[in-house]
Amino acid sequence: MSNEIDVGILGATGTVGQEFIAALENHPWFRVTWIAASERSAEKRYADAASWQLAREIPHGIAEMLVNRCVPADSPSLIFSALDSAVAGEMEAAFAASGRTVVSNARNYRMEPDVPLLIPEINPDHLGLLQQQTETRQWPGKIVTNPNCSTIVMTLALAPLCQFGLRQVMVTTLQAVSGAGYPGVSSLDILGNILPHIPGEEPKMECETPKILGTLVDGDVRPHKVVVSAQTTRVPVVNGHTALISVKFNAEPTCEELINALRTYRGRPQLEKLPTAPNHPVVYLDDPDRPQPKYDVDREGGMSVTVGRLRECPVLDYKFIALGHNTVRGAAGAAILNAELMKIDGLL
């Protein structure tokens, strides 16, 4: 097909890398032609290098592909990065410096003032930061990032409510083990247990949210004034981060207004029918027993965030529960949707 765009994947053997490969298998615009991973995997067949974790099989064309080293030579111009943050900083810069467009899931550049921290439903105009990035960094390529997985789930549930003047957010997460990669969390740590601490996770939710919900003014993102407090835990669930959220508003919306805002929320991905966009970025369920990972994590291919139990909060104003698929909507699917937005905006 004439409009197929070659893409490469950095960190292709890891948990998120595998989700990229699965999600791109039949993508109408993008075609994986190049995969790279750490030195340990380099020059192996992908099927031998990756501990494949998904129930669906490795796409046929990919299984036999040789894994490259993470250097730009011979790589296509569009690169998805699922690199570990220990190495992403330098490597992604090298790809951008050599003219590649890097659409990254790593945290390294998220809070840089000239790097979009993009959720296409929420802040598609933040791509405007790229102009500043080009000027500042003198890269022929560029870097665009998506937020942390828990942050994406939460902000998609918060964005429809911003119209009521969001002031404060308290959130507690119950996060799935796939969020820690593979081998990641030891079974001895999590079978029948709860881990009360995920290093680095709470600051991410507290810092990234104001930037995501911020406003582009004169080429800069002015952060939203909302104050976020997060407590993050790990639970024995395979996929799906659950967030229990309380919020305080400047306005005095009713319960019905809030639920209606969640139910009717749409963004550019929906209006422009981007290939990976869910019809409903937010699904509100009336059943008080929902959302649950077991039933709701795979809605619309894992790209919808499910919300339920919106009710009054005696301390702030309202409280509710949100659930999203951490490696799809929270990682690989997020980055692919970012690239789709960039394509229709002529940025690829």
Q: Which of residues 245-264 bind its own copies (CB under 8 A)?
A: 246
Span from 18-26, 30-38, 192-200, 253-261 in contact with its own copies (CB under 8 A): 192-200
Is 344 a binding residue for its own copies by CB under 8 A? The answer is: no
Give which of 315, 310, 316, 320 is closest to 254, Cα–Cα.
Answer: 310
SS3 202: helix
Contact (Cβ atoms closer than 8 angstroms) between residue 321 and residue 256: no
Is 111 a binding residue for its own copies by CB under 8 A? The answer is: no
DSSP state of 56: S
Minimum distance from residue 348 beta carbon to its own copies (Å): 33
Minimum distance from residue 317 beta carbon to its own copies (Å): 10
Contact (Cβ atoms closer than 8 angstroms) between residue 216 and residue 128: yes
Q: Considering 149, 224, 280, 325, which one is annotated as catalytic?
A: 149
Helix (H) or strand (E) holding 78: strand 78-81
Give which of 199, 207, 255, 242 is closest to 227, Cα–Cα.
Answer: 207
Give which of 113, 117, 90, 84 is closest to 103, Cα–Cα.
Answer: 117
Instruction: Rule CB under 8 A: choose which of 24, 32, 144, 237 binds its own copies.
Output: 237
Instruction: Rule CB under 8 A: choose which of 48, 254, 294, 301 binds its own copies.
Output: 294
Task: Name 138's Cβ contacts closer than 8 Å, sequence gap at least 6.
Answer: none
Is 315 a binding residue for its own copies by CB under 8 A? The answer is: yes
Residue count (the chain): 348
Is 125 a binding residue for its own copies by CB under 8 A? The answer is: no
Sign of CA dihedral 268, 270, 295, 145: negative
Beta bridge partners of 308: 285, 321
* Contact pattern for its own copies over residues 46 through 85, marking x by CB under 8 A: -------x-x------------------------------
Q: Is 241 a catalytic residue?
A: yes
Instruction: Rule CB under 8 A: choose which of 84, 206, 257, 345 binds its own copies.
Output: 206
Is 242 a binding residue for its own copies by CB under 8 A? The answer is: yes
Chain residues that interact with its own copies, rule: CB under 8 A? 15, 53, 55, 168-170, 172, 174, 177-178, 182-197, 199, 206, 227-229, 231, 233, 235-238, 242, 244, 246, 288-295, 298, 308-309, 313-316, 319, 321
Active site (catalytic) residues: 149, 241
